[in-house]
Structure 1
Amino acid sequence: MARIFVCQNGSLGEGEAIKLEQASLAIAVVNSGGSLYAVSDRCSHGNASMSDGYIEDDGTVECPLHAARFCLKTGTALCQPATEPLATYPVVVDGDAIYVDLPEAVL
């Protein structure tokens, strides 16, 4: 595992997302309901950035282009046109910093 710094704890407000780019991988880190989630930044249906999506109060994110919704906790596609899930990654808060743990294989 590689631990990648995202931002300072407290700088990602409720309902906000930040895009983390590492090598050829883009990840959306989202604050929803006070919980932090990390999912693939690319919609599984098309070329849209999930960090630009609509963060919903029910723990989902909606694609800004296609209106597909995904569960932030599991990455599951919840409605059409998406049928494939988003990859999810562990988020770690360590002191004043937020990190995402990425498998070496994806870097």
Structure 2
Amino acid sequence: MTTWIEACGADDIDQEDVVRFDHEGRTFAIYRSPDDQYFATDGLCSHERIHLADGLVMDDIIECPKHNGRFSYKTGEARGAPVCINLKTYPIKVDGDRIMIGLGS
């Protein structure tokens, strides 16, 4: 069963950007694509556990700020060395002007 948690406001994220969301000791990254879709992944790089919200978003890629490893934020797929472990992704829904992240219970 999915539990929906309010992560942020839709306008809190610029197009082609990312924000950090912390919940119950876990860190997530919430993204807004150039075409106004929203996505969510684990918030820490799978390489050295650096906050991805400090990274650079380009199209559908998040680049880690430490070693420039890249992931697709849509699929979580590791896309560039040194990262080789994919990120977990989470469902997102927009409820009015609020972004909700779906977490398993």
* Per-residue Cα deviation, 1:39-77 (whole angstroms, up to 9, x for no partner): 1111000121111110012x0100000111000111000
Match of 2:11, SS state, is: coil
**Counterpart pick for 1:41 among 40, 43, 56:** 43
Seq. identity, % = 31
1:16: which partner in 2?
A: 17
Q: Which has the higher strand share?
A: 2
Say yes or no: does 1:83 pair with 2:84.
yes
In structure 2, the gaps of 5 or more residues are: none
What TM-score, normalized by structure 2, do the two folds share? 0.92
1:27: which partner in 2?
A: 28
What TM-score, normalized by structure 1, do the two folds share? 0.90
Residue 9 of structure 1: how far off its partner (Å): 2.2
In structure 1, the gaps of 5 or more residues are: none
Cα RMSD for the two superposed structures: 1.0
CA separation in 2, counterparts of 1:31 and 1:96? Answer: 13
Match of 2:53, SS state, is: helix
